[in-house]
């Protein structure tokens, strides 16, 4: 495969190869012209929905199985520096877990159980915690695997002893997530059974993974406790996700919510900022204001296929300043902008602004690179108008533009990666 051969990247992920291409030399190429041609060719191959790495991942699995003389688990791939965790599951057609992967690549090694809830639980902990982007839930789950019971004070001590950031907001968030309350939509109690079954809460199990007593003691629910005790296959895969997540967590700055230069989805940001419930990614869009934070998501090169009404012209002015836009229909000093820019003119903004950027929609993934916090420059706020086609008629639509100055300038390598036209 050309991308792997020219970059030497073994993660089997688009972003891994893209990072090699954009931030380092291409293996075996020394002249600028050849490297530029190879770079464009590799980036072109990375586009498209088809998984480029399925065959390689299957071969890696068989190689590791032969080497270890056993069915490899996710932790084995990590310890042997073979295939990134997210890549292992990327060959599935929908969200799943490692048993689904085994069913696809080595059916005889897969486990079977009649209880659909166990499968949903494995998918839940895999999708939310395997990446290691926040260690707090992993520490609690590991403690419960070891002791069967824990408590909020003990969780707080575990987190602090680990050197990770800790406060009531994040502990409350951990509880909401592990009881799955976070995944209930606002109107959940008003829905009928058919509608409830379509919610993410139901798809992830429909009941609390962790039960919390009145005195804040934590335990696995009875069904999970029983399965961990009696079902070897389920326990093996459950434990593997927790161990793999803890290994992956080493790549992140545990003292801060986000790690600069790491990738996050809108859903990751939603969860890590301790929001009360999960908000659909499409509702977050280019930014969202909640809980004292305003994460800003910028797709630098817009696809030709998207509607002109959302084709905002965000652009870097330098490696420490970016020109951004609100959503359409916003006016300075009215409605949402009062909240979004509160305190900016006085030099004491009420919100913390966080910048997440990806180069283009052609990257075919939902992850943005975190570039840090910033401050809105008060004298940059401008009321503008855009002509937008509405039912065949051009309508002058208000929008507000502003400059965000990053607290820490981004690296010149990243800056060029995002802004150079040669990266098309």
253-281 residue pLDDT tens: 999 999 999 999 999 999 999 999 999 99
Give the whole-angstrom CA distance, residue 218 versus residue 171: 12
Chain segment 201-254, per-residue pLDDT in tens: 999 999 999 999 999 999 999 999 999 999 999 999 999 999 999 999 999 999
The whole-angstrom separation of Cα 275 and Cα 172 is 10
Does residue 52 have a pLDDT over 50?
A: yes
Report whether pLDDT(32) > 50.
no
- Bridge partner residues of 322 (DSSP): 316, 404
**How far is residue 415's CA from residue 424's CA, in Å, rounded to a whole number?**
14
Q: What is the pLDDT of residue 50?
A: 57
By mean pLDDT, which of 60-64, 85-89, 125-129, 329-333 is the weakest?
A: 85-89
The 3-class SS string of the chain reads CHHHHHHCCCCCCHHHHHHHHHHCCCCCCCCHHHHHHHHHHHHHHCCCCCCCCHHHHHHHHHHHHHHHCCCCCHHHHHHCCCCCHHHHHHCCCCCCCHHHHHHHHCHHHCCCCCCHHHHHHHHHHHHHHCCCCCCHHHHHHHHHHHHCCEEHHHHHHHHHHCCCCCCHHHHHHHHHHHCCHHHCCCCHHHCCHHHHCCCHHHHCCCCCCEEECCCCEEEECHHHHHHHHHCHHHHHHHHHHHHHHHHHHHHCCCCCCCCCCCEECHHHHHHHCCCCCCCCHHHHCCECCECCEEEEEEEEECCCCCCHHHCCCCEEEECCEEEEECCCCCCCCCCHHHHHCCCCCCCCCCCEEEEEEEEEHHHCCCCEEEEEEEEECHHHCEEEEEEEEECCEEEEEEEEEEEEEECCCCCHHHHHHHHCHHHC
Give the C-alpha separation, 7 to 171, whole Å: 41
pTM of the model: 0.89
Q: Position of tokens 């929001």?
A: 275
Over its C-alpha atoms, the chain yields an Rg (Å, rounded) of: 23
Greater confidence (21 vs 69) lies with 69
Q: Report the DSSP pairing between strands 293-301 and 352-360.
A: parallel
Q: Which two tokens stand for residue 272?
A: 């890590």
CA distance 299 to 356: 9
Model confidence band, residue 420 (pLDDT cutoffs 50, 70, 90):
confident
pLDDT at 11 over 60: no
Per-residue confidence band for 44, with pLDDT thresholds at 50, 70 and 90 = low
Q: Which residue has the tokens 């199985």?
A: 65
pLDDT value of residue 34 = 42
Q: Quick check: 349 pLDDT over 80?
A: yes
Query: Which residue is listed with tokens 């380092």?
Result: 24
First to last CA, the chain: 21
Closest CA to 355 of 291, 414, 296: 296
User: Average pLDDT of the chain?
Assistant: 88
Phi and psi at residue 339, to the nearest 5°: -75, -40
Residues contacting 167, CB < 8 A, separation 6+: none
pLDDT of residue 101 exceeding 90 = yes
* 258: nearest Cα among 284, 296, 228, 223: 296
Banded pLDDT at 159 (limits 50, 70, 90): very high
The mean-pLDDT minimum among 141-145, 185-189, 212-216 falls in 185-189
More confidently predicted of 410 and 393: 410
238 with 111: CB under 8 angstroms?
Answer: no
CB 314 within 8 A of CB 306: no
Look at residue 3 and tell me whether its pLDDT is greater than 70.
Answer: no
Q: Are 249 and 138 in contact (CB under 8 A)?
A: yes
Q: Residue 2: which pLDDT band, with cuts at 50, 70 and 90? A: very low
Confidence of residue 73 (pLDDT cuts 50, 70, 90): very high
Q: Is the pLDDT of residue 371 over 90?
A: yes
pLDDT of 47 over the 70 cut: no
Residue 386 region, left (φ>0) first, then alpha (ψ -120 to 50), else beta? beta
For helices 14-23 and 32-45, angle between their N-to-C axes, nearest 10 degrees = 160
CA angle in degrees (0–180, nearest 5) for 232-234-236:
65
pLDDT for residue 12: 61
Six-digit token pair at 408? 């820490």
């Amino acid at each position: 495969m050309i991308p792997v051969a020219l970059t030497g990247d073994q993660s089997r992920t688009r972003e891994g190869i893209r990072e090699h291409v954009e931030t380092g030399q291409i293996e075996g190429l020394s002249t600028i012209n050849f490297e530029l041609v190879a770079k464009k060719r590799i980036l072109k191959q990375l586009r498209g929905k088809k998984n480029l790495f399925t065959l390689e991942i299957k071969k890696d699995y068989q190689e590791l199985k032969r080497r270890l003389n056993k069915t490899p688990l996710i932790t084995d791939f990590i310890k042997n520096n073979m295939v990134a965790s997210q890549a292992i599951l990327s060959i599935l057609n929908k969200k799943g877990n490692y048993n689904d992967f085994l069913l696809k690549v080595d059916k005889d090694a897969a486990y079977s159980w009649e209880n659909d809830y166990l499968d949903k639980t494995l998918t839940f902990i895999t999708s939310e915690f395997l990446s290691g982007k926040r260690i707090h839930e992993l520490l609690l789950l590991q403690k419960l695997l070891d002791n069967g019971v824990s408590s909020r004070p003990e969780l707080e001590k575990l987190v602090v002893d680990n050197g990770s950031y800790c406060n009531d907001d994040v502990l409350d968030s951990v509880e909401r997530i592990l009881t799955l309350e976070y995944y209930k939509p606002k109107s959940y109690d008003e829905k009928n059974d058919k509608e409830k079954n379509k919610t993410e809460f139901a798809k992830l199990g429909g009941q609390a993974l962790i039960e919390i007593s009145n005195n804040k003691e934590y335990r696995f629910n009875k069904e999970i406790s029983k399965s961990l005790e009696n079902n070897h296959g389920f326990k093996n895969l459950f434990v593997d996700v927790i161990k793999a997540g803890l290994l992956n967590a080493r790549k992140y700055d545990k003292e801060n919510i986000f790690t600069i230069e790491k990738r996050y989805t809108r859903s990751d940001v939603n969860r890590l900022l301790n929001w009360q419930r999960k908000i659909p990614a499409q509702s977050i869009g280019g930014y969202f204001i909640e809980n004292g934070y305003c994460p800003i998501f910028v797709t630098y090169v817009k696809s030709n296929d998207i509607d002109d009404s959302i084709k905002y012209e965000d652009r870097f002015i330098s490696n420490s300043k970016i020109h951004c836009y609100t959503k359409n229909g916003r006016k300075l000093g009215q409605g949402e902008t009062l909240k979004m820019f509160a305190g900016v003119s006085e030099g004491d903004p009420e919100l913390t602004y966080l910048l997440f950027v990806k180069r283009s929609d052609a990257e075919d993934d939902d992850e943005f690179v975190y570039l840090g916090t910033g401050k809105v420059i008060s004298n940059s706020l401008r009321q503008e108008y855009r002509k937008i086609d509405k039912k065949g008629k051009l309508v002058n639509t208000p929008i507000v533009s502003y400059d965000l100055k990053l607290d820490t300038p981004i690296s010149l390598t990243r800056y060029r990666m995002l802004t150079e036209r040669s990266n098309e």
